[in-house]
Structure 1
Amino acid sequence: MTEPKNAQTNAPTAAAAALSALHGGEPRPLVYFLGVGPGDPGLMTYKGAELLERAALVVRDPGVLDEIVEAFVDTEVPLVDAEELGQAASTRGRRLAELAREHGTVVRLVPHDGILFSTTTDEAAACRRNEVEFEIVPGVGTSSSMSAYTGTPITTNRVRSVRFVEAGSQTHTDVSKHRNTGHVISGTVEQMIEALTALLSDGWPESTPVLLATQISTVHQVTIEATMSTAAARLLDEAAASEPVVMLMGQGIEQRSDLSWFESKPLFGWQVLIPRTREQGASTAELLTEHGAVGTIVPTIAIQPPRTPNQMEKAIRALVTGDYQWVGFTSVNAVRAVRDWLEQFGLDTRCLAGVKVAAVGGPTAQALLDWGVAPDLVPSEEWSARGLLEDWPEFEDSADPINRVLLPRADIATEVLVDGLREAGWDVDDVTAYRTVRAAPPPAPIRESIKRGDFDAVLFTSSSTVRNLVGIAGKPHPSTVVACIGPATAQTAEDHGLTVDVIAAEAHLGSLIAGLVDHARSLRAADSAANRTPRRPSQRRRTARKKK
């Protein structure tokens, strides 16, 4: 067996050390068989997430469950591919027992519920024969996932029983011809084609409706409505031969048009380019996921300290001595920069006691709250420097003799806020807290995807993101929907030869994504009105190329 990933086999993890302490210096050998659901990390059970947090070693099937591992397993925890433990279930169970004696708690990941059509029970029995205890923790099952995420009832007021069938050449012997019985058939694409062939040979009508789905519960889900005679060709065209697939047979298929909710999300399956920093892009990707899209982060800027620290050092001293009435934060990066500067001097948020704090918008305000600082001012309308200036109070020397404002900003920040505050009577220290420089180009495959039109949309949140993306990766394909956070960003995009499709109604990320959602809905409505199958922008590009 090869070494587990991320650590040597004999290296004890923090979790194993903790277990050793609890059991008198000897780790208690225990194997958990954990059903992880259909694929969406959000469907992991609470107990399953807890187990993965304290696992000493994780065993998973090769090439699957990557998103689960990334979401819940610490990078220091060793990973072992199950196929390395042996081909037979009994052999894998024996090796699991050995690993448990060596490491303590071993978590064996199993797809879906971890029970149906799996080798869990055989591996668990082998653990028991080798005198190692186990627990089986079920996950969200295939049948319920398929039903929920395709919007297709398995049982109805007429369908009162369900059969779970393994796909293959003998499937027809396990399928009931009673019309009030539903069927959930599971297997690979290759096995499903064997099952369909067997069913047709057994006399099932070619027109029998079936529903097939792959990558259930993820934004890559593909659902195929077909008949028994057309399903095989559709599977070969739309799924890989070794890909797991689930097929439903039953009267509930008729209700799918009324109950489909997952794939009807406005951005379902859209690949959206996010030219932001890793930290900022992560929250953007989460928002896109709620609408069914997949966000790909391409950093276009890198954050670096200012070339000379003198300005910030003076500002920190003035902050400590109470020389400022306000500190204005115009970005999340500004919050991080000031936080880092204070930590370098051994200081914390107590330096801001008695100082009023302003945030340019919601994300910046949240960054302050995460730091333990509640902002006194957030724009009530537009989340921008202009919006912040609108709500900023004028200086009244009769109320407070201190009129100094600290603005720790990027080296390329605009002068709108500085000039406006000075006109209102404030003494502004406009200090460079960090520099933004162009990031390194993304990997070649990403650059090619951008130019080829594989991305359905790109979100530009500033003029610099436009300039830098074009500079490091090239112009997006004309089929890619271009969405900009405001008129200035849109003008920059047009200056670079891009056609702008969406401009946010308000200058913040939520409004930008809402504008993209509305645009996607209008595209879908236009397709429906023309009796066309709705297509994503990247699919329209491929379709147009085929017609040529």
Structure 2
Amino acid sequence: MSEHRAAIPLDECDPAEVVAQVRPSRGAPGHVVFVGTGLGGPLRLTLAGLQAIADADVLVLSSELSAELLGEPEVSCKPEAPVLLAAADPDLDKVVQLTSAGFSVAWLVAGDPMMDGAGPLAAALVDRGCRLDVVPGLPKATLALTVAGICGGDRQWRTTQDPQLTEVPANVVALLPADQIAELSRQARDRGLSTDTPALVTVNYASSSQRSIETTLGALPDVAEDCEGAATAVLVGDAAVRDPRLNWYESKPLFGWQVIVPRTKGLPGAIERRLEHHGAIPVQMATISVQPPRNPQPMERAIQGLVDGRFQWIIFNSANSVLAVTERLAMLGLDSRAFSGLRIAAVGADTVEALKNWGISPDLVPEGEQRGEALAAEFPVFDDLLDPINRILVPRAEIAVDALVTSVNELGWEVEEVIACRTVRAAPPPAEIRDAIKGGSFDAVVFSSASTVRNMVGIAGKPHTATIVAAIGPATVASCEEHGLRVDVVPKRPNLIELVDALAEFAAARRANLIARGQPVRRPSQRTRRRK
């Protein structure tokens, strides 16, 4: 995962300043690699695309992309790599100057570089002497057909981003803003297509808010009025008739559900990705803000001891402590190899996930309930014949973990506690978010620890009774009940992935039950609005 970073317009970039501040990773000449990112976030990047981003000295984003993509947990890039935003008519000479200085430039584009409009830019750079490479991505039209559940097969499709048709092919895929749909319909009818020709309009295609409308060419202008200015994929032709069995994308169990994910500020992880996998729209809400310790010296000494091999074990009891330690190691130019020879214990699903994001699998995680007491019960007794060192490092927040430390001491280990960070309750979310939480505009909330329950209720209030509540384990369930919340979903094991999967299973069973009773299938938030 890369930190969110400031991005500046490419036209305002001073290549000489970049050359003075950043050392290229290769000798001159450099090159430009156009990277197709598909649509819908980092999960549609290819492995080759991720590698090209990680290797780049300079990153350029097309106007359709946001720099937030580079802050996603799956995306790694050099911390010193400048991020430049390209306009519709970018200053290519600045890119040429960077490549001439030996820089590798990754130019990220939506969809596929060759299929979705970057070809002329690439050709112009070659004309200026740049070496060119391309990482293909998922083309926009291909994505539009696939997520709509349309089989291409041997059908011929004409792709366009212009409502002006010079000819009428058998089947058309038009990627247009909604206000151009009526013109597309008129053009096709004027060129002889029947008003009864099948059409399929996919609003916000390839996103979790996608909505498909089956219609005809003649009814397209009326459909356009219901699309509210959104980006659309309009399919026209006999091949636009969808087999309902293939509507896989909009049939995901959590499709369109808005799910609150209360968690530590700046600590994205597996919950959001798994929710997206099941079709949900995760809405992260910071409930805790992590700050450095008031006195940093003990933490500095502990990190040095870790590097010097002074400890046999390190125990992490929160994702925040993992973040504090790994951030400090990164500042020293170190990576996960700094933990070589050290045994690692972890308490909590968030903690395990934070370690995995750094490429570390803990040696010991308690079975069942994720509490310090459970870890202490499974922790090995110190053996002076087998254990070369008897010291354990416990980096923690200001809140003490006395029971864990006492229990481990009784097993013969010498524990060194150090305050790695301070956790403070995050600022309340905007008023509209608080009102949406209390008013039932969210479909579900996923609690991964007891503290997320306390902090969310403290800064935003209790979720509406119609909101589905998922809790990771017994301690979290108890915290929910303490705050008067009904718990609907608890996984069999306290694991982040299984927590989201359990919510998806709940949603699928709920949908099947509504269908069996002959009732319309609505999301929990829609039922709330209907009652109003």
TM-score class, shorter-chain normalisation, is 0.7 to 0.9
SS in structure 2 at match of 1:269? coil
* Amino acid across the alignment from 1:54: A
SS at match of 2:521: coil
Paired residue secondary structure (1:220): coil
The match for 2:9 among 4, 7, 29 is 4
The answer for the alignment partner of 1:493 in structure 2 is 480
Q: Is the 8 A contact 1:65 1:111 kept in 2?
A: no
Once residues 344 and 21 of structure 1 are traced to their aligned partners in structure 2, the CA distance between those partners, rounded to angstroms, is: 23
Identity of aligned residues (%): 37
What amino acid does structure 2 have at the position aligned with 1:43?
R
Cα deviation code 1:470-491 (max 9, x no counterpart) = 2222222333222222333233
Q: Displacement of 1:210 after TM fit?
A: 1.8
Counting only pairs closer than 5 Å after superposition, residues 75-474 of structure 1 correspond to structure 2 as: 77-83=82-88, 85=89, 95-96=91-92, 98-104=93-99, 110-115=109-114, 118=117, 120-121=119-120, 131=128, 135=132, 137=134, 139-156=137-154, 159=155, 161-165=156-160, 167-168=162-163, 170=165, 173-176=167-170, 182-200=171-189, 204-240=193-229, 243-251=231-239, 253-255=241-243, 257-304=244-291, 328-337=315-324, 357-361=344-348, 364-365=351-352, 375-393=362-380, 408-412=395-399, 417=404, 431=417, 433=419, 434-474=421-461
Q: Output the CA distance in 2 between the equivalents of 1:200 and 1:411.
A: 70
Deviation string 1:51-95 (CA, Å, 9 cap, x unpaired) is 55536463623x556665666687853534424x3xxxxxx6xx4
1-structure distance, mates of 2:216, 2:106? 40
Pairing partner for 2:506 from 503, 516, 519: 519
Q: 2:44 is aligned with what amino acid?
A: L
Q: Distance in 2 between matches of 1:399 and 1:8?
A: 59
Letter in 2 for 1:162: W
Which SS does the other structure have where 2:173 is aligned?
A: strand
Classify the secondary structure of the residue corresponding to 1:502. coil
- Residue 38 of structure 2 corresponds to which residue in structure 1? 37
Match of 2:18 in 1: 13
Q: 1:314 to 1:197 in 2, by over 3 A?
A: closer
- The one-character-per-residue Cα deviations of 1:132-175 (angstroms, maximum 9, x if unpaired) are 5575845422332122222211235xx4x33335552547x423
Give the counterpart of 2:60 among 54, 58, 61.
58
- How has the CA–CA distance of structure 1 residues 223 and 69 changed in structure 2, closer, same or farther, with 3 Å as cutoff? farther
Tell me the secondary structure at the aligned position of residue 261 of structure 1: coil
Q: How far did 1:46 drift? A: 5.3
Report the Cα distance in structure 1 between the residues aligned to 2:352 and 2:498, rounded to whole angstroms: 17
Aligned residues of 1:39 and 1:65 also touching (Cα < 8 A)? no
Change (3 A) 1:136 1:146: farther
Q: Against the structure 1 CA distance between its residues 219 and 421, is the aligned structure 2 distance closer, same or farther, given a 3 Å change threshold?
A: same
- Secondary structure at the counterpart of residue 226 of structure 2: helix
Q: Is the 8 A contact 1:16 1:103 kept in 2?
A: no
Q: Is the 8 A contact 1:407 1:428 kept in 2?
A: no
CA shift for structure 1 position 330: 2.5
Structure 1 unaligned regions, length at least 5: 86-91, 177-181
- Residue 267 of structure 1 and its aligned partner are, at CA, apart by 1.7
Task: Check 1:403–1:440 CA distance in 2 against 1; reply closer, same or farther (3 A cut).
Answer: same
Compared CA separation, residues 136 and 508, structure 1 to 2 (3 A): closer
RMSD of aligned C-alpha atoms?
4.8
Deviations for 1:442-489, whole angstroms, at most 9, x for unmatched residues? Answer: 344433443343322211222322221122222223332222223332
- Where do 5+ consecutive residues of structure 2 fail to align? 1-7
Aligned in 2, Cα 1:36/1:394: closer, same or farther, shift over 3 Å? closer
SS at match of 2:366: coil
1:198/1:324 CA distance change after superposition, 3 Å:
closer
Aligned length: 514
Structure number with bigger Rg: 1
Q: Secondary structure at the match of 2:233?
A: strand
Equivalent residue for 2:3?
Answer: none
Deviations 1:343-386 (A, max 9, x none): 99999999999986533356545655777876443224444435
Classify 1:253/1:348 alpha carbon distance in 2 versus 1 (closer, same or farther; 3 Å).
Answer: closer
Structure 1 pair 9–456 and aligned structure 2 pair: CA distance change class (3 A): farther
Cα distance in 1 for partners of 2:25, 2:227 equals 50
Structure with more of its chain in helix, by fraction: 1
CA distance in 2, matches of 1:478, 1:460: 15
TM-score, normalised via structure 2 length: 0.76
Give the whole-Å Cα distance in 2 for the aligned partners of 1:192 and 1:526. Answer: 37
Alignment partners' CA distance in 1, 2:292 and 2:255: 39
Kindly provide the amino acid, as one letter, of the partner of residue 112 in structure 1: G
1:216: Cα distance to partner? 3.1
Is the 8 Å Cα contact of residues 149 and 242 (structure 2) preserved in structure 1?
Answer: no
Contact 1:100 1:132 in 2 (8 A): no
Contact 1:334-1:409 at 8 Å conserved across structures: yes
Per the TM alignment, residue 276 of structure 1 is displaced from its structure 2 partner at its CA by: 0.9
Q: 1:290 to 1:6 in 2, by over 3 A?
A: farther
Change (3 A) 1:403 1:472: same
Distance 1:345 1:459 in 2: 35
